[in-house]
Structure 1
Amino acid sequence: MRRTRTGRLFVPPSPGEASRLTELLRRETVGGALLIGAAVVALVWANTPWRESYTALGALTVGPSALHLDLPLSAWAADGLLAIFFFVAGLELKREFVAGDLREPSRALLPVAAAVGGMVVPAALYAVINHADPEALAGWAVPVATDIAFALAVLAVIGRGLPVALRTFLLTLAVVDDLIAITIIAVVYTDTLAVGPLLLALIPIALFGALVQRRVRSPWLLLPLALLAWALVHASGVHATVAGVLLGFTVPVIRRSPGDGPGLAEHFEHRWRPISAGVAVPVFAFFAAGVTVVGAGFASTLADPVTVGVVVGLVAGKAIGVTGATWLVQRFTRAQLDESLGRLDVLGLALLGGIGFTVSLLVGELAFGGGTAADDHVKIGVVAASVLAAALATLVLRLSARRRPAHPNGEGAREA
């Protein structure tokens, strides 16, 4: 115990309290609420008379200049903290490929096709709307991404009476969506590539992989290697969050010894998810979502082709792409939806895919540069589309739940 500057006695949280807090942060509804709350705070602050202080906070530069890591706080959030989110995403991706639905091609075909359709159609609609402006076309990838945390949080809130298969389908779709989005970030939005640092980054990544393959869990060994890998990837010109994905891919999923219990990937995911959901993603949302919408120019911003392209791509594009691809695969292959899912469920799930908050905001910054007018238009479009998609998905899925026949024993469908 110690005393604070005001003289009050500071009592650190007990292990039990800390454990309850981390368990709370692992809940999808809590992570989604923190994400939404951080974005709302940023939007409100950016539209008050004190908006300049919000801008100044994001522009505050910290970090060692000798290592070329003297970055604004907003960049630390996007490049640094978000790497934690992508590390957890990498763990989840590998777990799905090794031990989850993506392990069996027959089960993975429908959600994989839905994910591809839900990325191609939004990008195409955005490109059609912005075809006359080559600079605006740089943001074609903004509406392709689905926010796993946000979408699953909404489903967790509205999922009463809906089948568990709906969540499994959405999770698989979002995982594939993230994998493609990560690839786009690494390939499309790397302006200059320094091969030397990128090759050097393979050394700490390989050492990290060798240690975790031997089931080493010590943070004193793993964290320095992870930080070094992140710094070298950042120096290479590739977006630094890719380092988080690569490190996640090295972690083994299957237990070495037989018996019950989590593998190392699940163990790390369990440890790092509270930090990702409780700190990394909300802080990124706080610095990314604050855009000024007050003033005479707001109406013109809503009508701007970039804003329209993002909204149409995320809401209509996801709905058309996911439902269309699902229908085509069922029509021309033997793959079928889980028997508990109906057409309304697929439409509701497709609308949930239009919640593209975290990765869409990141792609907007990479495509147009933070603080530009086009980036502000992306932010407004992403926020508007995510809210609209969540509202429409809620209406459709609640309608589906009401139409669903009761379970023979009277309990109804299992909750998603």
Structure 2
Amino acid sequence: MKKALLSGLIAIAAASGNLHAQCTPVATLDQNFENFTEFPDSCWYGSGTPGVNFSLLDDNSNNVVRFYGMFSVNTPFYLVTPELSTIDGNHYMTFDAVPNSGLALGVKVEVGTLDAPTNYASFVAHGPEIIINDTVSSYRSINIPANSSYKHIAFRITTISQHQAVKFDNFKWELDPPPVQCNPVSAINQSFDNFTAFPDSCWTTSAGTPNFYLNDTAADKDITFYSMSSVNTPFYLTTPELSTIDGEHHLKFKAAPLGVPGDIKIQVGTLAANDDYSSFTAHGNEIVINGGAEQEYTSIKIPANSNFKYVSLKITATAAHQALLLDDFVWEAAPGTGISDANNIIARLYPNPVSGDVITVEAGTNIRTATIYSVTGKVVRTIDQQPGATVTLPVGDLTAGMYIVQVITDNGSSTAKFTKQ
């Protein structure tokens, strides 16, 4: 018995000794623990009892770090990275965390910093608290601001009941990629099937994981909204900037409820900037989703206004743990030809929207000239037409957006709008 106790103490002391190994600051992390034979190791550290609260677990031939709260409730534990030389405001942390069992649901994780690996009083939290659930596994923290006293990234883990356990893996600390150049688009046809993360491709949200995340568990990917514990708190899912909020386009999307039953409200609206939620202007009737299968929703056309830059869904849950699947967003010209021809001179304008090199105008009489204008009234192109009732206009070099074509015929003049994609 004494030998067993002595062996256990020696093992714990040896594991604890890893903390005092020669640890030099590192600039990046890409740690999946596959080269670990124990934990703590390689200048990683966990508070509590080594081998009990934090341990190395072979999870289906994949090494992970397992946190186990044992009998502790509402007691914080800390998982700490090696010292980092690049807490400079330009790096970010990603990691995976999944419940080790259903008992782990509700465990709280905060990403923060320490000035020394065991000085937990120096912990400074960065970003919102993460609640571990059974659907989200990959998390991205906010950028951590530069501060010379920040030396280590730490994960403060707090259980809400006994015997809760969480598996951690795939820690990365790397340069924040340069911001994506987001140019206005004239149309959207987005199924998210080519996405590998969310937000991405100039789509934005008012909150990150786990309130919005990419559900890629099936071939048909979608965006999942999850209310967590928020009730009657609006969240926003926002499209890329649009150049065609002109009164002639409308939005279509699909939504299906998940999780706790009850009303989930969606209001379609616009924003002046993708993070200025105070500028939200509602358009059309509020949509109330309460059970049932996936449905497609079509908003009313949004009126033209130079302040409307983005279309946004304001989503409000009326109970905790409600969820929605959102998919197949389409922003397109409303049904019709796009022709506003009081004189009934222009018979057809096609294709509209146009993504190719030419657009064709057909009139009921001989066309003399055709002129393309920008929406600001600038002449873009004029074509002197040979006798005939049809004119083909080159548009391949035009930038995406809304244009106006004017034709002068033997019977007068007329105008129509078209969209270049």
Query: Which band: TM-score by shorter chain?
Result: under 0.3
Greater relative contact order (Cα < 8 A, sep 6+) = 1
More strand by share: 2
More helix by share: 1
